[in-house]
Chains A and B, each alone.
Chain A
Amino acid sequence: MNIQAPIRLSAAEESLASQLDSVGAEGLATLVRDKGLPTRRVESYHYTDLKMLLNDVPPLASAAQAGGAPATDIAGAYRIVVANGIVQNSGTAPAGIAVGTVEGPVMASRDDLIVSLNGALGKQALGLDLTGDVDPVIHVDHRFEGAAAHVLSRTRIAVAAGAKATIIETVSGSDAAHLGNLATHVSLGEGAEVTHIVVDMSALQARQFSNLEYRIEANAKLKSVMINAGAALARAQVFADFVGEGAHSDFLGLNVADTDEHRDITLDISHAVPNTTSTELYKQIVRGRGKGVFQGKITVVKDAQKTDAKMMTQGLMLSDEAEILAKPELVIYADDVVCGHGATCGDLDETSLFYLMSRGIPRADAEVMLIRAFLAEIVDAVENESVSEVLTDIVERWLSKDV
C-alpha cells in the first residue's frame, strides 16, 4: 500500500479545487486536493511543472462581449466569436456549415488534469457540423475579455465523410492575466480533408492551455498546425487517434518565445490501425530567456502494420540564456513499420549569414531573412493564401518586436 502524506496545496490549487466544488465536480476537486497540479514527476509535464509555473488561478469567467476588432482578420473568412466561452451571434452560416452549441465535455476523458478541468468547468461548446466542400475559411475567434479570468472555451467540430474544410481558431483578448483553457475536438469522417490551425495570441501576462484532439477515420487527410505566439506560459497538447486505414496527417507546430516566456507543445499520436501515415514537424525559436518545449510521442499499436511516421523537431536559439527542450518518443509494438525521428537545435548558420552579408545585406537583416526562412516551412504548409498571410503576419510581428 502506498501511503501518501497530504500535500500542501498552493494558492492556485486551492482556487481550482473550490471552483470545481462550485460546479459540483467533487471527484475532480478531491483529485486536485489529493494530488495537486502536475509536477515534473509526471512524465508528460516534466519540462512544464505546473505546480511551479502556475502561481494563481483567477475567478471563473463570467459572460462578456467581445471587445473590438479581431486580433487577426482573415480575408473572406466566416467568423464565429466565442467570448469567455460563450458562443456569440454568428450571423447566417454559409452552405455546408451548421452552427450550434453542445453541452458537456468535448474531448475524450483521459488522465490529464487540464483536459479534465475543461470538461468539468466549461459551460457550453461551439458545435460545428461540416458537410460537402466548405468554401470559406472558418475562423473561430476565441476572446478572453474583461478582468483576469479563468476561461474555458470549447469547440466540437464534426467533418462529414468526404467533406473539405479549413478551420482556424485564434485565442486573443483583453490585456489581463487570464488563465485560458481551450479544448477542441475534430472528427474527420471517411475521406474528409481538413486543415485545422490553432494560434494562441493571448496577452503576454496570460497563461494558456490549448488542447486539441483529432479522430481520423479511413482515408481522411488532416493538416494540423499549432502555433504558440502568446501568453507568459503556454502549453498546447495535441492528441490524435488514427482509427481508419489509409488516412494521412501532417502535424506541424511552432513555439516562439522570448524574455521569460515558456511555450510548450506536447504531442500524443496513436496509430491504432494498419496502413496509416503521418509526418510531424515542430519548430521552436527562442531568444531572451525564453524557453521552448517540445515533446512528441507516437504510439504504433501491435496490429498497426505498415504505419509510416516521420517526426522532426528543429530549434533555433538566438540567445545564450534561451532554452530549448525536445523529447521525441516512439513507442512501437508492430514489427512492419517505418518510423523515424530527428531533432536539431542550434544558432543561425554562420556560412549562410556570411553568404548573405557578402552580397551587401547587413547582419541584422541577414539574420531576419534566415529566421524567416526557418519559419517558412510551417507557414507555407498552409495552402489557403489568406490564412498563410495571417500566419506570416503573426511571425513578422514577433520578429519585429524589440527585445
Chain B
Amino acid sequence: MSTPMLEIKNLHVRVEDQEILKGVNLTLNRGEVHAVMGRNGSGKSTLSYVLAGKDDYEITDGEILFNGEDLLEMEPDERAAAGVFLAFQYPIEIPGVATMTFLKAAMNAQRKSRGEGELSTPEFMKAVKEAASLLEVKQDMLKRPLNVGFSGGEKKRAEILQMALLAPQLCILDETDSGLDIDALKVVSEGVNKLRGPDRTMLVITHYQRLLNHIVPDVVHVFSDGRVVETGGKELALELEAKGYADFDAETAA
C-alpha cells in the first residue's frame, strides 16, 4: 500500500500546564474525506492548529508524518508550501493588508517554494475571478482589507476561496459550518465538494452532523478528552447526533 497522506501517531500536546491531546492516532489516505466530531473542548481545534504549525503548543510525545515526512519539523509557511491548508474557525482580520495583495503574495510564495515562476497579473485575476464566482464572493469583498468588515459567512467563504486558489493536498476545515446560515452552508459545502478529488485529502472538524449532510465523509472519528474514541463510516455521525456524546465519554472512562 502507498504511504498515507497524513499519519498522526500517539500525539500528545500540552498548552501551558494542561494536556490537551492525550495520544491521538489518525491515518488519512490520499483522496479520503475524514470527519472529526467532538464536543467543545475535546481538543479538535488544538489538533488543527498543531497540524498547521501554530506556536504555543508543546508536543510532548508522538509524531505527525505528511507524505512520510516529519511535519512537526516544518515552519507554518513550509507546511503550506508542502500542501497543508487550514481553513480557520475564526479567520484573522488584518487591517491595512489588501485582500488581493495577500492572495497574490500567498500564491506566489507557494509557487516560488516549488520553483515555479510568479503568476502574471491577468493569470492571477482570472484565477481569483473563477474561484470567487464559484463561492459567490463579491468583488467588493475582495477590495477590502483582509477579512476586515466581513460577516461570519463571508469570512468562511473567503477561507474556502483561499483554499481553492492554493490547491492544497491536505485541507483541514476547522468548524467551517459555525456561523453559517443554511444558504451559506450550501455555498461553502459545494465549494468544498468541487475540490474533492483522488489526490486531495480532507479533515473536516465539526461539532454538528449537519455539515456532513453536505460534505459526506468517508470516515468519521469521534473525539473525546483529547483522543479518538471511535471510528466508523458516515453512519457514525448520525448515530452520534441521535445519542449524543455521553455514550462515547463512557467508553473513554472504561
A binds B: yes
Q: Spell out A's residues near B (CB within 8 Å).
A: 350-352, 354-363, 365-366, 369-370, 372-377
B94 pairs with A352, CB closer than 8 A: yes
Tell me which residues across on chain B come within 8 A of A354, comparing CB atoms. Answer: 52-55, 76
Tell me which residues across on chain A come within 8 A of B75, comparing CB atoms. Answer: 357, 362-363
Which residue of A350, A360, A363 contacts B166 across the interface (Cβ within 8 Å)? A360
Please name the 7 residue pairs, one residue from A and one from B, whose CB atoms are nearest each other, closest first: A373-B96, A360-B80, A359-B106, A357-B76, A360-B110, A376-B96, A355-B92
B96 pairs with A361, CB closer than 8 A: no
Inter-chain CA distance A355–B89, complex, in Å, is 12
Interface contact tally, CB-CB below 8 A: 79
In the complex formed, the residue of B with least CB distance to A368 is B105
B106 pairs with A361, CB closer than 8 A: yes
B96 pairs with A377, CB closer than 8 A: yes
CB distance from B60 to the nearest CB of A (A): 21
How many B residues touch the partner, as a band? 20 to 34
B100 interface contact, C-beta 8 A:
no
A-B contact pairs, 28 of them (CB 8 A): A354-B52, A355-B92, A356-B102, A357-B75, A357-B80, A358-B79, A358-B80, A359-B80, A359-B85, A359-B106, A359-B109, A359-B110, A359-B162, A360-B77, A360-B80, A360-B113, A361-B105, A362-B75, A362-B77, A365-B105, A369-B101, A369-B105, A370-B97, A372-B97, A373-B96, A374-B96, A376-B96, A377-B95
In the complex formed, the residue of A with least CB distance to B94 is A352
Tell me which residues across on chain A come within 8 A of B110, comparing CB atoms. Answer: 359-360
CB distance from B49 to the nearest CB of A (A): 9
A372 pairs with B96, CB closer than 8 A: yes
B88 interface contact, C-beta 8 A:
yes
CB distance from B91 to the nearest CB of A (A): 7
Tell me which residues across on chain B come within 8 A of A360, comparing CB atoms. Answer: 77, 80-81, 106, 109-110, 113, 166
CB distance from B181 to the nearest CB of A (A): 25
B28 interface contact, C-beta 8 A:
no
Within 8 A of A (CB), among B53-102: 53-55, 75-77, 79-81, 85-86, 88, 91-92, 94-97, 101-102
CB distance from B44 to the nearest CB of A (A): 17
Inter-chain CA distance A358–B80, complex, in Å, is 6
Q: Spell out B's residues near A (CB within 8 Å).
A: 52-55, 75-77, 79-81, 85-86, 88, 91-92, 94-97, 101-102, 105-106, 109-110, 113, 145, 162, 166
A369 pairs with B102, CB closer than 8 A: yes
A362 pairs with B109, CB closer than 8 A: yes
Inter-chain CA distance A375–B166, complex, in Å, is 28
B55 pairs with A350, CB closer than 8 A: yes
A369 pairs with B97, CB closer than 8 A: yes
Inter-chain CA distance A355–B159, complex, in Å, is 11
Which residue of B77, B95, B96 contacts A363 across the interface (Cβ within 8 Å)? B77
**Best-surrounded residue of A355, A362, A369, A372 (most CB of chain B within 10 A):** A355
CB distance from A254 to the nearest CB of B (A): 14
Tell me which residues across on chain B come within 8 A of A357, comparing CB atoms. Answer: 53, 75-77, 80
Which residue of A361, A372, A377 contacts B77 across the interface (Cβ within 8 Å)? A361
Tell me which residues across on chain B come within 8 A of A352, comparing CB atoms. Answer: 92, 94
Inter-chain CA distance A370–B105, complex, in Å, is 13
CB distance from A283 to the nearest CB of B (A): 11
Tell me which residues across on chain B come within 8 A of A369, comparing CB atoms. Answer: 97, 101-102, 105
CB distance from A16 to the nearest CB of B (A): 43
